[in-house]
Amino acid sequence: MNAVNLVEVVNVPAIEQLTFQPIDLKNRKIDGGIYRMYDSSGEIIYVGKSNNLKRRMRQHLSRRTNTAYFMDEVASIEWHEEPDPIFETLLESIFIAYHQPKFNDEVKDHKKKFGEPDGQ
């Protein structure tokens, strides 16, 4: 299923209405959910999920993950709390398919599989 069909099936405009909040690691208890990283132009460059967003954000920010190579490009991060791990995975997949963030391997793998240029 390509991104166009996915948009029609899941009604992405309704999903875009989910409440996302800026990451605040000091003052907020953050449980599981999905997060989006933006560059300075406001483009989504990475989408991820975690059952412990606070821990995952600290890993990203301390560069103890496989995403360390692009963290200098991240201007802001926002998150949406989602306690259901199945829906969390579904949301992550939908946002990756719809926005095609340049640092999500899933996008690169899809393009390689179907012979599309990856823009790099």
Tokens 């309704």 label which residue? 14
Q: 21 pLDDT band (50/70/90 cuts)?
A: low
pLDDT at 1: 43
Mean pLDDT of 5-21: 52
SS3 2: coil
pLDDT at 22: 65
- Express each pLDDT in 79-93 by its tens digit: 888 888 888 898 899
Sequence-distant (6+) residues with CB within 8 A of 60 are 37, 67, 71, 74, 77
Mean pLDDT of 38-53: 92
- Domains (range + CATH), the chain: 11-106 (3.40.1440.10)
**Mean pLDDT for the chain?**
74
**CA dist., res. 32 & res. 71, Å (int):** 21
- Residue (of 20, 31, 48, 36) closest to 83 by Cα position: 31
Strand partners, 44: 38
CA dihedral 25, 28, 32, 37 (to 10 degrees): -40
